[in-house]
Amino acid sequence: MNIDFLIEMYRKKDKKRKRALWELFDNTIKLPASLTFIADTINKEIQVDNLVSESDIKYCRFYFMDKVKSNIAAKDKPKISNSPKSNTSHSDIDWTDPDEINNSNNSKSKFSK
C-alpha cells in the first residue's frame, strides 16, 4: 500500500482508510507523543495539510493497537486441556420432591398462605 492510495481513500472517505493509515504509519502512531504532533508529522510526511486528524490517530490507537496486544497475548497463553467429565449420571442423583416435604414446622414466610 502506498501513500497516494491512502490520500485517495481519505478524499473518498473510504471505510478502510483508518486501517490503511495504521498499516502505513503504525510505528509513528505508537509513539508516546500527543495526538496533534503525530497528526502533524503524518500530514507533513504525506505532504497534504489537514488530511489526518487527531481523532483518526486516537481511533487507530484504540482499536488497532489493542488488537496487536491481544493477538500477542493470545498466542502466549498455553492451551488448557479439557478436564475429563464426571461419571455421574442423572439417575444417580437423589432429587427431593417439594410436594413431599413436611411443612409442619411453624416457620412463617411472606409467601406462605
Q: What is the pLDDT averaged over residues 60-74?
A: 73
Helices within the chain (DSSP H only): 3-11, 17-29, 35-46, 54-60, 66-76
Gap between the Cα atoms of 29 and 58, Å rounded: 9
Q: Write down the residue that cell numbers 497463553 correspond to.
A: 77
Q: Is 98 exposed, middle or buried (CB count within 10 Å of its CB: 0-12, 13-18, 19+)?
A: exposed
- The length of the chain in residues reads 113
**What is the domain partition of the chain in residue ranges?**
3-76
Q: What is the pLDDT averaged over residues 49-64?
A: 92
Confidence of residue 63 (pLDDT cuts 50, 70, 90): very high
Confidence of residue 92 (pLDDT cuts 50, 70, 90): confident
Q: Is the pLDDT of residue 48 over 80?
A: yes
Q: Could you tell me which residues come within 8 angstroms of residue 19 by beta carbon, excluding any fewer than 6 positions away?
A: 64
pLDDT in tens, 103-112: 666 666 777 6
Gap between the Cα atoms of 2 and 6, Å rounded: 7
Confidence of residue 29 (pLDDT cuts 50, 70, 90): very high
First to last CA, the chain: 76
Largest CA distance in the chain: 88
Q: What is the pLDDT of residue 95?
A: 78
For the chain, what is the mean pLDDT? 81
Q: In the chain, pLDDT over 70 holds for what percent of residues?
A: 70
Q: What is the pLDDT averaged over residues 3-10?
A: 90
